[in-house]
Structure 1
Amino acid sequence: MLLAGLAVFGLQALTDRYDRTVLKEQLLAPDARNARTDLSGPLNYLLIGTDRRPGDTNPEQRADTILIVHVPAGLRQAYLVSIPRDLLVAIPAANGYAGGQDKINAAYEHGGGGESGAQLLSATLARLTGLRFDGAALVDFSGIRQVVDLLGGVRMCVDREVRSIHTNRVFSPGCRQMNGAEALDYVRQRYDLPGGDYDRQRHQQQLLRAMLDRAGETRLRTNPVKLDQVIRAVGDSLTVDTNGVALEDLLFALRGLPPDALKGVQVPSYPQVIDEVSYVVLDNGGNGLFDAVRGTRMPDWAQANPRWVVRL
């Protein structure tokens, strides 16, 4: 999405630079991949945030962030559907894993991390939601931190005091400019928040919106050195699967997507302790959310379920 926003500064130059830096892998399992490549919409992309570094083969990795980016037909809106990382799901067998019930963020680890881990996670989501994805991306958090710094920081609004369990940093209520380390630290907190992981999901969605806003405000067009740095940082932080679609075609299709059309969506669910383990379970099968995402009814679902929708 950030790449699409930057595309207005020179599509050909952007794609050429990006293609030289980005890692391309088959992140989607065959049964999770959309057979068509029509970019008129609706489109569904899987976004996985991890601490994985390029070339990291350590299998003990879990997906810290799982997002479905749903773009309805017309490509003028986008819904960021956050999947609770503790959601109890059935994970298929793969790569020596026998399959079974577990938290959804464990699918990435059971698959061995990296390309195979993303494939098992996508297969798990396809089984859960009935979705077939038009593409996927693995996002390295350290790369996001670098992008935020190159953009000169982002404006984040803190609605209640948050103390980081990682750095002991205290985020006081109010709006302020955050650098990459601060923003990433803030959006990874969930303990001591009233909504727990639901608040964390909302904060991560807000960071994506803030990055898009900042990219639009920054005069990258007149600073080719900074533009090149941002493009390289974005490319270095991503592993992508475009489902056979040329990157230039994808960016051209998404170029008109405005940041203010983004909406955050949380999956209807609730926490539950099972055998002394904390999980999140679907509320009424997701209350029709996945049916809406599969088809053309997402705007209607969002209007009918305001409790689970946040305008970013």
Structure 2
Amino acid sequence: MLLAGLAVIGLRTLGDRYDRSVVKEQLLDPTARRERTDLDGSLNYLLVGTDRWQSGSAVGKRSDTILIVHVPAGGREAYLVSVPRDLLVAIPAGNGFGGGPDKINAAYEHGGGGLAGTRLLSATLARLTGIRFDGAALIDFSGFRKVIDLLGGVRMCVDTEVRSIHTGRVFHPGCQQMDGGQALDYVRQRYDLPGGDYDRQTHQQQLLRAMLERAGETRLRTNPVKLDQVIRAVGGSLTVDTNGVPLEDLLLALHDLPADALRGVQVPSHPQTIDQVSYVVLDNGGNGLFEAVRGTRVPEWARANPRWVTRL
């Protein structure tokens, strides 16, 4: 009982330190927010990743990563649903944009990037999927480079040789230790990969899993200096919307989630060229995936659709 009590106190202390380190803003559009006062039942969070959102100009601001994180009741497993960046959607009007069809990552740009861009993106996703979110996070992936380096790097398994279009670095097949720069460079690649952007989505999911696993291996809670450095680095890379729930309560709800309980999910879809523009189009409305998320039936959907699910 004493050990359990100390563990809870430690988690609350950790949560309080995170709470003071991260920026908290309203990231979700009212139409995309699920109103609730507790963390009982399943949870759905929106993660938006970009390395350009803090720049001064709105031109070229498109979200690099869009993830729906679904945690079934109990918090013992999680599904990372990657939304294709080129998915053809109807973007609602907002922040001066008149609305209309476009790639989903353009919603972030049409909203002006940053907080307003994330709100328009969340409204677009809510309209498309019918999902309402319990919270959201805007991630500056360029800041995650320092986090990965503080963790001592991460172990990534390269399945296909690929040359970076950004640095010229060649990633050879096999499992290898990567520092922050290498890891982020690798997960940005999609050209020359057999599955194109679908492979890129899987690699991003694998990086999040590798970071969680590495954080567990380094026993951060027993190294206060390193823990403080990591918290500061994470806090500088995140803007969060907790939907009114204290951050330490969220950490407590998810503290039993092991890294090996993550599943990567790709939205059933296919590439299609329309008017000489390359898009991604849903297969039969997503083959029931969004309905499964809304109805808390994702584990059953995953078992019935193994083609679109990867154990990370």
TM-score with structure 2 setting the length: 0.95
Counterpart check, 1:175 vs 2:167: no
1:212-223 maps to which residues of 2 (within 5 A)?
212-223=212-223
Are the aligned partners of 1:68 and 1:80 in contact in 2 as well (CA < 8 Å)? yes
**Deviates further, 138-147 or 194-203:** 138-147
In structure 1, the partner of 2:68 is: 68
Are the aligned partners of 1:8 and 1:255 in contact in 2 as well (CA < 8 Å)? no
2-side partners of 1:70 and 1:299: how far apart? Answer: 10
Distance apart, 1:206 and its partner CA: 0.4
2-side partners of 1:52 and 1:8: how far apart? Answer: 37
Counterpart check, 1:260 vs 2:260: yes
Which residue identity is paired with 1:138? L
In structure 2, the partner of 1:47 is: 47
- Change in CA separation of 1:53 and 1:121 when aligned onto 2, cut-off 3 Å: closer
Deviations 1:214-271 (A, max 9, x none): 0010032332110100011111100000000011111111111111110000000000
Are the aligned partners of 1:26 and 1:241 in contact in 2 as well (CA < 8 Å)? yes
Distance apart, 1:74 and its partner CA: 1.4
In structure 2, the partner of 1:289 is: 289
Which residue identity is paired with 2:182? E
2-side partners of 1:8 and 1:303: how far apart? Answer: 34
1-side partners of 2:146 and 2:280: how far apart? Answer: 32
In structure 2, the partner of 1:211 is: 211
Which residue identity is paired with 2:214? R
1:143-182 maps to which residues of 2 (within 5 A)?
143-182=143-182
Are the aligned partners of 1:57 and 1:114 in contact in 2 as well (CA < 8 Å)? no
In structure 1, the partner of 2:19 is: 19
Counterpart check, 1:84 vs 2:78: no
Distance apart, 1:41 and its partner CA: 2.2
Are the aligned partners of 2:28 and 2:118 in contact in 1 as well (CA < 8 Å)? yes
Distance apart, 1:191 and its partner CA: 0.2
2-side partners of 1:59 and 1:179: how far apart? Answer: 30
In structure 2, the partner of 1:109 is: 109
Distance apart, 1:40 and its partner CA: 1.7
1-side partners of 2:235 and 2:120: how far apart? Answer: 24
The list of structure 1 runs, each at least 4 consecutive aligned residues, that deviate by more than 6 angstroms after superposition, is: none
SS of the equivalent of 2:191 reads coil
Distance apart, 1:208 and its partner CA: 0.5
Which residue identity is paired with 1:250? L
SS of the equivalent of 2:243 reads coil
In structure 2, the partner of 1:120 is: 120
Are the aligned partners of 1:40 and 1:75 in contact in 2 as well (CA < 8 Å)? no
- Change in CA separation of 1:130 and 1:311 when aligned onto 2, cut-off 3 Å: same
Distance apart, 1:36 and its partner CA: 1.3
1-side partners of 2:122 and 2:238: how far apart? Answer: 17
2-side partners of 1:210 and 1:163: how far apart? Answer: 21
Are the aligned partners of 1:48 and 1:139 in contact in 2 as well (CA < 8 Å)? yes
In structure 2, the partner of 1:4 is: none
2-side partners of 1:78 and 1:191: how far apart? Answer: 28
Deviations 1:173-203 (A, max 9, x none): 0001000000000000000001000000000
In structure 1, the partner of 2:200 is: 200
2-side partners of 1:248 and 1:19: how far apart? Answer: 7
SS of the equivalent of 2:184 reads helix
In structure 2, the partner of 1:58 is: 57
Distance apart, 1:292 and its partner CA: 0.3
SS of the equivalent of 2:94 reads coil
Distance apart, 1:42 and its partner CA: 0.8
Which residue identity is paired with 2:193? L
In structure 1, the partner of 2:304 is: 304
Are the aligned partners of 1:62 and 1:108 in contact in 2 as well (CA < 8 Å)? yes
Which residue identity is paired with 2:111? G
TM-score with structure 1 setting the length: 0.95
1-side partners of 2:56 and 2:51: how far apart? Answer: 12
Are the aligned partners of 1:140 and 1:238 in contact in 2 as well (CA < 8 Å)? yes
In structure 1, the partner of 2:271 is: 271
Are the aligned partners of 1:42 and 1:295 in contact in 2 as well (CA < 8 Å)? no
Query: What is the aligned-residue RMSD (CA, Å)?
Result: 1.3
Deviations 1:82-125 (A, max 9, x none): 00000000000011111000000000000011111000000000
1-side partners of 2:221 and 2:134: how far apart? Answer: 30
Gaps of 5+ in 2: 1-6
